């Protein structure tokens, strides 16, 4: 296997490869762009015009997606997987990955779309670097741009694998892309309704890619992800990379579609979230339920029929969302 196929090993050891460009037997070009960043280019005769960005480890303790990308990179380096697409593999927060922590000081996935300019520290610098790498990768015109940002969640979920689809004014969500994700094992999708500061929102809103945050199960340490079944997603990613995903359109295969009703924003240290600590994503909340309170008499009371909660987290920094109320889109 080519040395550049060991991107994860290099990252964990904080090492640079001796050779920063290598070619596989099939003529696939692998280029190391920096810590946790590997660009893969197909032979010109195979290039199908797809630019595919695959990122994981934006939160350092979300290891199942990192292991999935590692397997794909190994397959390319061994010549077992011959790309027809250009692919950029990014391991988002290398130091947090090495420490097995979600982040060090700041949540990197709240530092995109220029938000890093309002902050400082190593993770703000990393967000800026990830934006630069993505922008450079997607700079060619006339090519298809697709980004999957792979995550696992802090808590359990009643719907284990689901996608978040960013929003941009005047731009329609693609049923074709949602059907593709259904084939990849996503059981639900959340259509967002406002601009965001996540990595997938940056590539969607600023770089014009089709982009998604994919949640694949619960976060566990390296080597303990046997319960996280990413087999369908791995098949889809393999087909996208080698050009064999030729299915155009298709139905959503029972995928549940939700939309954002409200975000719960933590404003002060007085914020209280009235939910059990172990509540799962997609738990239903009845109308009239007092969801949260904050200083100055602020109250979030559930008014929506069929409301569910995702990403409840009262420990976020002030000014960030402490949960999202969602409802069925149909």
| CATH number listed for the domain at residues 261-328 | 2.40.50.630
Domain with CATH 2.40.50.630 in the chain: 261-328
| pLDDT tens readout for residues 118-147 | 989 999 999 999 999 999 999 999 999 999
Catalytic residue chosen out of the listed positions 177, 215, 263, 303 = 215
| 8 A C-beta contact, residue 149 and residue 55 | yes
CATH architecture label of 3-242: 3-Layer(aba) Sandwich (3.40)
pTM score above 0.75:
yes
HEC profile of 24-72: CCCCCEEEEEECCEEEEECCHHHCCCEEEEEEECCCCCCHHHHHHHHHH
The verdict on whether 95 is a catalytic residue reads: no
| pLDDT tens readout for residues 186-218 | 999 999 999 999 999 999 999 999 999 999 987
Domain with CATH 3.40.630.10 in the chain: 3-242
HEC profile of 252-294: CCCCEEEEEEEEEECCCCCCEECCCCCCCECEECCCCCEEEEE
Per-residue pLDDT at 246: 78
Q: Which two tokens stand for residue 235?
A: 């098949």
The pLDDT tens digits along the chain (330 residues) read 889 999 999 999 999 999 999 999 999 999 999 999 999 999 999 999 999 999 999 999 999 999 999 999 999 999 999 999 999 999 999 999 999 999 999 999 999 998 999 989 999 999 999 999 999 999 999 999 999 999 998 788 999 999 999 999 999 999 999 999 999 999 999 999 999 999 999 999 999 999 999 999 876 766 656 667 899 999 999 999 999 997 776 778 789 999 999 999 999 999 999 999 999 999 999 999 999 999 999 999 999 999 999 999 999 989 988 999 999 997
């Amino acid at each position: 296997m080519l040395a550049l196929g060991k991107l994860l090993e290099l990252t964990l050891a904080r090492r640079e490869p001796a050779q920063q460009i290598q070619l596989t037997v099939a003529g696939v070009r692998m280029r190391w762009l920096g810590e946790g960043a590997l660009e893969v280019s197909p032979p010109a005769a195979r290039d199908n015009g797809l630019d595919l960005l695959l990122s994981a480890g934006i939160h350092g303790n979300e290891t199942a997606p990192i292991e999935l990308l590692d397997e794909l990179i190994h397959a390319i380096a061994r010549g077992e997987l011959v790309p027809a697409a250009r692919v950029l593999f990014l391991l988002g927060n290398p130091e947090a990955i090495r420490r097995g922590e979600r982040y060090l000081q700041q949540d990197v996935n709240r530092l995109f779309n220029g938000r890093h300019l309002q902050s400082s520290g190593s993770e703000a610098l990393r967000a800026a670097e990830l934006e630069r790498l993505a922008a450079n990768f997607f700079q060619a015109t006339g090519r298809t741009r697709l980004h999957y940002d792979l995550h696992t969640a802090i808590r359990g979920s009643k719907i284990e694998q689901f996608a978040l689809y960013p929003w941009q004014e005047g731009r329609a969500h693609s049923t074709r892309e949602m059907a593709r994700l259904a084939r990849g094992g996503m059981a639900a999708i959340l259509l967002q309704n406002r601009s965001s500061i996540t990595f997938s929102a940056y590539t969607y809103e600023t770089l014009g890619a089709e982009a998604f945050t994919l949640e694949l199960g619960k976060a566990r340490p390296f080597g303990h992800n046997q319960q996280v079944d990413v087999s369908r997603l791995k098949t889809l990613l393999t087909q996208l990379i080698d050009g064999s995903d030729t299915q155009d359109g298709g139905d959503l295969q029972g995928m549940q579609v939700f939309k954002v009703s409200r975000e719960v924003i933590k404003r002060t240290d007085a914020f209280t979230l009235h939910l059990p600590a172990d509540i799962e994503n997609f738990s239903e909340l009845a109308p009239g339920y007092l969801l949260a309170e904050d200083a100055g008499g602020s109250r979030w009371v559930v008014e929506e029929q069929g409301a569910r909660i995702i990403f409840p987290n009262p420990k976020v920094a002030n000014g960030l969302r402490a949960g999202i109320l969602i409802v069925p889109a149909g």
